[in-house]
Structure 1
Amino acid sequence: MANARGTSFPLDRIRLLDSPFRQAQDTSVRYILSLDADRLFAPYLHEAGLVRAAEAYGNWESDGLGGHIGGHYLSGCARLYAATGNAELLAKVRAAVVILGNCQAAHGDGYVGGVPRGGDLGQELARGEVDADLFTLNGRWVPLYNLHKTLAGLLDARVFAGSGEALDIAVGLAGWWLRVSAHLADDAFEEVLHAEFGGMNEAFALLWELTGREEYLREARRFSHRALLDPLAAGQDLLDGLHANTQIPKVVGYARLAGPTHDADLAHACDIFWESVVSRRSVSIGGNSVREHFHPASDFSPMVQDPQGPETCNTYNMLKLAKLRFEAHGDAAAVDFFERATYNHILSSQHPGTGGLVYFTPMRPGHYRVYSRAQESMWCCVGSGLENHARYGELIYSRAGNDLLVNLYIPSTLDWPEYGLRVRLETGFPFSDTWPWLLPRKRR
């Protein structure tokens, strides 16, 4: 594939044909439909003072991160609906949005979330009470990271399932946060960002794209976290030892903002980060990190020795970055990375029988992987895993003007109604060296 800037097709234009990717997508549908929405959204109802139909799940959902899987679940259902057209998934999206709307109405100020005492957090921050460590903010386990999952789920419900109600709830939640952050001076805001906050800058950038409201653009910029951005923009690679998946979503946000705002610092920061992570810190499967942290770029021995190798969440976010990079610059190397990480890490992170999901993929010779259990394991990589296997279609094809770009050899069909065209891609790659067949057909 030559270097050419490509615009991705909407996910609902692509349908996977039989292959390991289609099988993984089908397994993901079964996994996500097996989850009990009443239990997933119990933390939201509890925080809103509403009656719960069931008790919350255990594990991380009851250890301080209540609601984070609910946000990923909403994203996963919406994306899987777009990828498959399964009406049951659309019903799940609509039911979840109703619950979140009821919770927001009960709070009365726009807030909605499963964060323990999350509504009080806003009042504390507005009073200038900021106590931030890497994984805690005012005594709560990464509450902004958690809220980001809710906000991202609502935005995905709008983009992939057409829910205007979800966008209204997202606007309400964003308004609550803007009223909180208006009381925070820049130095206090930067202190808040010392605690992991997920992709809040990306979410506010997407809200700006969807609504055109400039206050969301300003807040996305405010979430840029100068402690990471400034060294990267100056060409400095200071990533050794940093918690990897705290940093990657920030750079995804930089990438989403860099193009439309023509911000040279954001663009350069993305370049330096990409080069550091992909060229100097990633292994053959496309993953990175040891025990969730960036290992020294000069020493890969911990990657081989430690059983806690590349984290699936990291690759989930690096794929977002790769897609944005290709769409902005036509960087063929970004597609090469996307292919390597998708085929070798993401696809293998799901158990083909049970649908269980992997946190770490050890590079240690002869070691084993641990798969989640649907009704028990509520790790971060379970949350992102609910989305991963819905996304296989998002970069198979793209378009550059009138040209069709085929980026990945994954058996699939594409509808391109503007040209009255249906494309069918059949291939045995990577299990066969038979050259793929690309069959354009006029739609009937």
Structure 2
Amino acid sequence: MSGHGKAIPMTARAGGRLSGRAEVPGDKSISHRALILGALAVGETRITGLLEGQDVMDTARAMAAFGAEVTDHGGGAWSVHGLGTGGFAEPEDVIDCGNSGTGVRLIMGAMATSPIAATFTGDASLRARPMGRVTDPLRLFGAEAHGRAGGRLPLTLKGAVTPVPVRYTVPVPSAQVKSAVLLAGLNAPGETMVIEAEATRDHTERMLAGFGAAIRTETTTEGRVITLTGQPELRPQTIAVPRDPSSAAFPVCAALIVEGSDVLVPGIGLNPTRAGLYETLIEMGADLSYENMREEGGEPVADLRARFSPDLRGIEVPAERAPSMIDEYPILSVVASCATGATVMRGVAELRVKESDRIDAMARGLEACGVRVEETRDSFTIHGMGAGGVTGGTVCATHLDHRIAMSFLCLGLATRRPVGVDDAGPIATSFPVFEPLMRALGATLERGAA
């Protein structure tokens, strides 16, 4: 069964300032989609800057299991020789998606309208996550799903033999669900429509258009309506993956709270549906600046500079901003603990069904570090202690969640006493070079408990 093996405790402690270039890995969301759409195109798609973390590598193996030719050329350069829309072959073995909710949900969508069956599993964290939110709309196409109680993995999905297009309103903002429905719609005749009340990250729509799909987006009284014409012949592409803004959040936020720091993240993706964290940080008084703004592969990109910001202040983060920064709330809560006043985060119930219950995980860890936290089902409030005011001196539980682990390690760089995490192993799923990258900037990270 999937898992990263023996726990790797790690400790962070305050030291010198952070400085230099933080060349974070490629965007995880775009990397997943590039592999999947490359496998659905006719011909060879070439990808540079692919994130080579465990999550994306599991998706690469899955595409090979469905019959695509996936080749690693070294240095983040990959190629995918695709099978065409509806061309997936039935895999011979179980598809193990490790820790990746994005990977498993998008892959399910991509195969749901082909007349094949596949069984999916993952690590303990992924097997505990709800899959009904994606299998329910896939059933509308004619697919069948059979899983554990609550629709959890392991789960067998039988694709529709004669798929039909659907019109689906996403009940809770979710780019994963939206994308799964759009990918399923590729092999259904006619027009598939997805309606979302709040805009979520639009990498799938941008990339579908780039591969030649007929897709349009309009804003109506119902919300954002995305219409896809099914059964296109997707054209192979050359894709340069921008650096991941969710991974960049960790060195950026660490720089804001560690005295004297000045860090540059080159080539970060700034898709407006992903940039909510940086907008929020600027409102809190963060010293952030964008340099060399440009467009690469249809995505806005810039070099982002972050400097120590001793006068951060708590704010109320608009609930409607949540979809554009849902993965960044754990590290935002770390920054909020080093600000003055309360930071209120609402509309974040989605955090409770991520790799862990991220509200609970952050609340318990921050409280152990001396920070007062209030939480409800869909909100939490951090009562900041100002620059240098957080005590630390504890070991935080990560619950097999990479973002929880990285968040507490960043906090430990600015606390009075060291902060440890019980297991830094899951960090490899999304940010395999986190430890050497942070050390190169000047961070004091040590293997072992605090």
Select the structure that is richer in strand.
Answer: 2
TM range (shorter): under 0.3
TM-score, L = length of structure 1: 0.28
Task: Give the TM-score normalised by the residue count of structure 2.
Answer: 0.28
The structure with more helix, counted as a fraction of residues: 1
